Amino acid sequence: MAVREILKYPDPVLRKVALPVERVTDATVRLVHDMVETMYAAPGVGLAAPQIGELHRIIVLDVDYQERGKRLIKLINPVICRSEGEQIWEEGCLSVKDFTAEVKRAARVEVVGLNEKEQEVRIEAEELLAVALQHEIDHLDGKLFIDRISRLRRDLYTRRLKKSLRSGKPQPEAPRVLI
């Protein structure tokens, strides 16, 4: 297992659609384990394979801050098969540096995918787990949470990031602006 580098916006790989995993191989299992290690080292509550430059439909999540690993979820080819309701959650992302925003998502989701043994896994989720599942599945489709906020807020963030990259200086902490 290895901790991998997490790609940062505006890396173009983050905008690509990940391909379905045809067969779970030893390499797939190693990738899943690397993703788990990388997520915990970041630290984060979720990670999608495209965030480490792998265009495979794989996500890992662990929203239990108290007992890391106890509720670890590893999904291959996850699909949201049902969603309902609405909630707004303050989101951040390991690939979107120094920025959070309130994002509107489904309040409850049902997700189906495969585990590392190619067995079907069905998860019914709400609150943070529902948000995290939707957020990570968005990554598989080349979408970031900043695509779900107002164009004005997204443009302000993008300009600030580009200025920071040009100057070589780290970005100042993002001011909190309510949507």
CATH number of residue 36's parent domain: 3.90.45.10
3-state secondary structure of 179: coil
Look up the domain containing 83 and give its range.
12-167
Give the Cα separation of 25 and 56 in Å (integer). 13
Lowest mean pLDDT among 41-45, 56-60, 173-177: 173-177
Residue 168 confidence class, pLDDT cut points 50, 70, 90? confident
Just list the catalytic residues: 136
* Domain-embedded: residue 178: no
pLDDT tens for each residue of 94-117:
999 999 999 999 999 999 999 999
Percent of the chain clearing pLDDT 90 (strictly above): 82
* Domain-embedded: residue 102: yes
pLDDT at residue 164 in the model = 85
How many domains would you assign to the chain?
1
Question: Comparing C-alpha atoms, which of 68, 38, 69, 73 is closest to residue 53?
Answer: 38
- 179: pLDDT strictly greater than 50: no
* Domain-embedded: residue 132: yes
pLDDT at residue 166 in the model = 85
- Please report, for residues 25, 115, 119, the alpha-carbon distance to residue 62 in angstroms, rounded to integers and kept in the order given: 23, 15, 20
Averaged pLDDT of the chain? 92
- 175: pLDDT strictly greater than 70: no
pLDDT at residue 165 in the model = 83
pTM score above 0.85: yes
80 close to 118: Cβ distance less than 8 angstroms? no
In the beta sheet, which residues pair with residue 93? 96
- 178: pLDDT strictly greater than 50: no
- 155: pLDDT strictly greater than 70: yes
pLDDT at residue 110 in the model = 98
pLDDT at residue 169 in the model = 67
